[in-house]
Amino acid sequence: MIALTLAEVAEAVDGRLVAVDPTVSVTGPVEFDSRKVAPGALFVAFPGEKVDGHDYAATAIASGAVAVLGTREVPGVPMVLVADALTAMGRLARAVVDRLPGLTVVGLTGSSGKTTTKDLIGQLTARLGATVAPPGSFNNELGHPYTALQAGPDTRYLVLEKGARGVGHVRYLCEVVPPTISVVLNVGTSHIGEFGSQEIIALAKGELVEALPPDGLAVLNADDPRVDAMASRTRARVVRYGEAPDADVRAEDVTLDDRGRPSYTLVTPEGSAPVRLGLTGRHQVGNTLAAAAVARELGMPLADLATALGALGLVSTRRMDVFDRPDGVTVIDDSYNANPASMSVALKALAALGRGRRTVAVLGYMAELGPFESDGHAEVGQLAAELGVDRLLVVGEPAAPIHEGATAVGNWGGESVLLTDQAAAIEVLRGELRPGDVVLVKGSRYRTWEVADALRADASSGNGATA
């Protein structure tokens, strides 16, 4: 963060200073976990349900925080008092980015692939200048300002994921940190239970391009009609990426190698170049094109771009993390989160990587599908069977329609089992896995994390597969 005096902080957040010297500067970081506080920090105390941050105010000061931003006074603690700490963090983030005129803010949204693509863009911009794009999925009204507050005087690129569970959410995040480049990846069905329909999801995601200034840039997925249509909702220039023949930044002649890694010809208005990705999954074609469109706009020459795309790696955990165990089992840990669209891309990656090998999918419940819950799960099961997955382990009763959807596919040669919990899935895997198998692990949030962790741990603990 840039240094701000407590008087400036109070002005930015409309706060009242209590027991502080207003000329003392916050030099950062801004933290809401007292364990992360460092000298010069501002500690933000949230009145949580289980833990009240105000109880840690004195600890934070002892660790070097210059003041605590909170909603009630704590005796003996220098404070910036506000009505609402979350709003205050947003306002402080805005004050910081407003003081960094040389900063380019890249915002991205979409139903799937935000964190993945944020990590890709961050790796490309890091080649051009100092970048803030931390690992993880900091995309809500807390994580978003928290990330932005990491920008300092040397930061040239700030890459921010913008999540939405309803109309107006992205608009608010864009008020906190206005984007100069907005990337919209796709309009799928995640959180559709809360939104109601895909049209409303499109309405909400499009707020990202509405927030652009006239000299900004909208990077839109030409292969997703609902995203492509957002071109009419912005004053900014538009660059379209995808495999559509008329896309500005596009991929031609896409092929996958035996590890499910795409190669393609990158075609831009400046010419074309061959790209060979080290990332797994057909969906990475679109994600890398989006990243390429951003880097191109920021001045990366085509030849550098092609090389940089080939060097992209994983940053955030549990997303398409492919690893080979010493026992010959290959694991695709895509367990971070799941919705029908991301299940689909992950199952296709399993099929591509598992060609000629036995494929196993461990699939858990997908949250927040509302009225689409039953059909959404059943379609995933159906797809797994249609793709010829050999063994399906469905984890937990709420995910049962995946099992039913798969077994309803008449000519499927594979086998599905519905298991009560992750421990049961781990047991089945330990009994059944053989060298050469490829296993995909995926579900919403924590629903399959234990399975993924066990598969990782087993590789080194002697619990591995035997022929």
Ligand X SMILES: Nc1ncnc2c1ncn2[C@@H]1O[C@H](COP(=O)(O)OP(=O)(O)OP(=O)(O)O)[C@@H](O)[C@H]1O
> Which residues of the chain form contacts with Mg ion (CB under 5 A)?
114-115, 137
> From the CB of 40, what's the least distance to ligand X, in Å?
31
Pair 454, 426: CB distance under 8 Å:
yes
Q: What angle do CA 367, 432, 283 make, to 5 degrees?
A: 45
Provide the CA 181 distance to its chain's centre, in angstroms: 17
Dihedral sign of CA atoms 286, 340, 439, 407 in order: negative
Per the document, the length of the chain is: 467
Q: Could you give the C-alpha distances from 19 to 42, 44, 178, in angstroms and in order?
A: 15, 16, 33
Cis peptide before 435 (omega within 30 of 0): no
Q: Which residue is nearest to ligand X (CB)?
A: 113
CA distance 305 to 290: 12
Q: Closest distance between ligand X and the C-beta of residue 380, in Å? A: 12
Dist. CA 12–CA 147, nearest whole Å: 17
- Of the two residues 163 and 414, which places its CB atom closer to ligand X in the complex? 163
CB of 140 to ligand X, least distance (A): 9
Mark residues 321-350: x for contact with ligand X by CB under 6 A, - for none: -------------x-xx---xx--xx----
Q: How far apart are CA 423 and CA 225, in angstroms?
A: 42
**Minimum CB distance to ligand X, residue 162 (Å):** 10
Nearest distance in Å: CB 24, Mg ion: 36
Nearer of residues 53 and 110 to ligand X, judged by Cβ:
110
Q: Please choose which of Mg ion, ligand X, none residue 125 contacts, taking the beta carbon within 5 to 8 angstroms, the exact cut-off set by kind.
A: none
Query: For ligand X, what does the binding mask look like between residues 247 and 286, x meaning CB under 6 A?
Result: ------------------------------------x--x
Min CB(343)–ligand X separation in Å: 7
Per-residue contact string for residues 81-120; x = within reach of ligand X by CB under 6 A: -----------------------------x-xxxxx----
Residue 163 lies near ligand X (rule: CB under 6 A) = yes
Query: Contacts with ligand X in 346-385 (CB under 6 A)?
Result: 346
Bridge partners (DSSP) of residue 25 are 5
The answer to whether 308 touches 295, Cβ cutoff 8 Å, is yes
CB of 120 to Mg ion, least distance (A): 13
Give the nearer residue to ligand X in terms of CB position, either 331 or 341.
341
Nearer CB in complex with Mg ion: 312/426: 312
DSSP-derived 3-state class of residue 386: helix
Least distance CB 228 / ligand X (angstroms):
15
Residue type, 378: A
Residue among 63 and 137 whose Cβ is closer to Mg ion: 137
The item of ligand X, Mg ion, none sharing an interface with residue 359, based on CB under 5 to 8 Å by kind, is none
Q: Which amino acid is at 71?
A: T
Q: 176-215: which residues touch ligand X (CB under 6 A)?
A: 185-186, 190
299 burial via Cβ count (<10 Å: 0-12, 13-18, 19+): exposed
DSSP string, 392-423: EEEESGGGHHHHHHHHT-TT--SEEEEESSHH
Q: Which is nearer to ligand X, 180 or 337 (CB)?
A: 337
Q: Which is nearer to ligand X, 123 or 337 (CB)?
A: 337
Give the E-state strand segments of 334-389 in sequence order. Answer: 359-364
d(CA 264, CA 281): 13
Which positions lie near ligand X, rule CB under 6 A?
110, 112-116, 137, 139, 161, 163, 185-186, 190, 283, 286-287, 319-320, 334, 336-337, 341-342, 345-346
